[in-house]
Amino acid sequence: MLGMQLVQEQRVRLSITPEMKQSIHVLTLSSQDLARYLQDAASDNPVLEIEETTARVARLPARLNRGGGSSSYDPLLQVRGAEPTLEQLLASQIRVLALSARRRAIAIYLAGCVNDEGYLTVDLTEVTSLLGISMDTAMAGLDVLQSLDPAGVGARSLCECLLLQIKRDPSAAPYAEQMVEAGLEALVPFHPGRAGTRLAITSQQAQKAYDYISSLNPKPCRSIGSKEYPHYIIPDVVVAVRNGVTCIRLCSAGIPRVSINEEYAHWFRDPSTDESWLARTAEARAIIRSVYLRRGTLIRVVAAVLEEQERFMSEGPSGLKSLSMTAIADKIGMHESTVSRAVHGKYVQTPHGVFELKAFFTSGIATTQGDQMSASAVKLRLKALIATERADRPFSDSALATLLQKEGIILSRRTVAKYREELQILSSLERKRWG
């Protein structure tokens, strides 16, 4: 017979409080995102006060000394304003030409039909019907557009774009125009012997023409008047070497300092203070604690990473060794997920350049000495080997795997091909040069 009864039992359960969720969220934010988050929090909470701050310096034990110094320099103040669009640049060139009003208007109309890469996106038959002009008049306007800078603008196809650049270049390689007119499909993959036979020229002449064509820009206007805004990286941590000691400091430029507004402080000690103000005060204090926890956690993680990647400071990326977040978590006594959140979206400025903090965590490649080498270091060595090859006898993927094995790096041919493609290096057949 079924019945109901009350049972009391003890159970251990992990629950996340709102303050813990907020602390986790703050830890994942980059410096720029944190500045925006604090600005929004201060606008919603009058108890929370923000003020300007200078870069804070953190000290590290042993070899990783926590250096001094501060700076209030804000790199965002050096960002350039918006540049003119491609259409505006082309129209400004057309207006200074000695043209009739009708021809100028048609050329400016066509300039507005050019995409970000410099190609004309409208058919001339459509232009004739829209503007009520003849095809000869439309072609005359197109000639004006294609005479502008940069060379190749206004092209309707890749072939026409290359031909426009070749015709305007007085130092163009011989037979380059004939090679493009013969068809671009014959250039990939390229064989100078077959190309020379087809054009009745020598292999050396075909190779020179091919090299010249490869140097042309297939998207001549890609970097002009782009609608995409440039992406500026402000590092979260700055690492420098001073007198042989590694110094680490948090880059706090642009991040406001947060505190409790003093004008409201006397209210908090009054027993008659409204509970809503006490809640706002608790919220502000939680935000301040989260910010300080973020700083401490980030410094500990970066310090541990640099202690493990000690060779990086002297040798650069080639000195990186395999490293996992689990190893760093065990080293500093934190959970692996905490390390992952601290690393997410953070950048480090080093003497060798600005690197994403995730770049210091790489997989390992086995060596004949029994240790492991980072994948990034292997890629750098692979790139260096390809740079030493002969132009007429480039290394195949199998040959590269053999050379790396002689240096103690065990890689299969497929892995070599994978790393070569990630480095955007062509295959041996496409790298080969004749003559």
CB atoms within 10 A of CB 88: 12
Residue 60: predicted pLDDT: 44
Residue type, 392: D
Residue 270: predicted pLDDT: 61
Q: Is residue 179 within 8 Å of 162, Cβ to Cβ?
A: no
Q: Average pLDDT in the 348-363 region?
A: 87
Answer yes or no: is 8 within a domain.
no
Q: Tell whether 265 and 298 lie within a shared domain.
A: yes
Answer yes or no: is 412 within a domain.
yes
Q: Tell whether 396 and 290 lie within a shared domain.
A: no
CB atoms within 10 A of CB 313: 18
Percentage of the chain exceeding pLDDT 70: 82
Say how many CA atoms lie within 13 Å of 296 toward its Cβ: 9
pLDDT over 60 at 422, yes or no:
yes
Residue 266: predicted pLDDT: 63
Band of the pLDDT at 59, cuts 50, 70, 90? Answer: very low
The tens digit of pLDDT for each residue in 376-413 reads: 788 888 888 888 888 778 888 888 888 888 888 888 88
Residue that wins the pLDDT comparison between 28 and 269 = 28
The tens digit of pLDDT for each residue in 63-84 reads: 444 444 444 555 556 556 667 8
What residues are paired with 349 via a beta bridge?
Answer: 238, 354
pLDDT over 50 at 61, yes or no:
no
Answer yes or no: is 408 within a domain.
yes
Taken as a whole, the chain contains a residue count of 435
Residue that wins the pLDDT comparison between 252 and 71 = 252
The tens digit of pLDDT for each residue in 121-177 reads: 999 999 899 888 999 999 999 999 999 988 999 999 988 999 999 999 999 888 888
For residue 222, give Cα distances in angstroms to 82, 113, 114, 151. Answer: 16, 15, 11, 12
Answer yes or no: is 32 within a domain.
yes
Answer yes or no: is 419 within a domain.
yes
Mean of pLDDT over the chain: 81
Q: Tell whether 127 and 201 lie within a shared domain.
A: yes
Q: Tell whether 106 and 165 lie within a shared domain.
A: yes
Q: Tell whether 190 and 274 lie within a shared domain.
A: no
Tokens of 60: 């590290």
pTM: 0.59
Instruction: Give the DSSP letter string of 320-373.
Output: -----HHHHHHHHT--HHHHHHHHTT-EEEETTEEEEGGGG---EEEBTTSSEE
Q: Tell whether 322 and 375 lie within a shared domain.
A: no
The domain total for the chain is 3
> Domain with 412 in it: what CATH number?
1.10.10.60
Residue 62: predicted pLDDT: 42
Answer yes or no: is 80 within a domain.
no
Q: Tell whether 282 and 325 lie within a shared domain.
A: yes
How far is the C-alpha of 224 from the C-alpha of 85, rounded, in Å? Answer: 7
Residues of the domain holding 149: 86-214
Band of the pLDDT at 94, cuts 50, 70, 90? Answer: very high
How far is the C-alpha of 53 from the C-alpha of 256, rounded, in Å? Answer: 6
Answer yes or no: is 404 within a domain.
yes
Answer yes or no: is 10 within a domain.
no
Residue 63: predicted pLDDT: 45
Query: Helix, strand, coil % (nearest 5) of the chain?
Result: 50, 10, 40
Q: Tell whether 175 and 240 lie within a shared domain.
A: no
At CA 309, angle to CA 303 and CA 310, rounded to 5?
85
Residue type, 308: E
Last residue of a domain, one of 304, 324, 359: 359
Q: Average pLDDT in the 185-199 region?
A: 69
Q: Tell whether 161 and 184 lie within a shared domain.
A: yes
Instruction: Give the DSSP letter string of 164-194.
Output: HHHHT-TTPPTTHHHHHHT-GGGGSS--HHH
Q: Tell whether 239 and 190 lie within a shared domain.
A: no
Q: Is residue 213 within 8 Å of 158, Cβ to Cβ?
A: no
Residue 210: predicted pLDDT: 83
Q: Tell whether 180 and 281 lie within a shared domain.
A: no
Tokens of 78: 């050096």
Q: Tell whether 107 and 183 lie within a shared domain.
A: yes
How far is the C-alpha of 259 from the C-alpha of 196, rounded, in Å? Answer: 75
How far is the C-alpha of 325 from the C-alpha of 331, rounded, in Å? Answer: 10
- Write the secondary structure of 6-56 as one string of H (helix), E (strand) and C (coil): CCCCCCCCCCCCHHHHHHHHHHHCCHHHHHHHHHHHHHHCCCEEEECCCCC
Q: How far apart are the first and last CA of the chain?
A: 97
Tokens of 304: 């541990």
How far is the C-alpha of 279 from the C-alpha of 38, rounded, in Å? Answer: 18
196: nearest Cα among 184, 179, 181, 183: 179
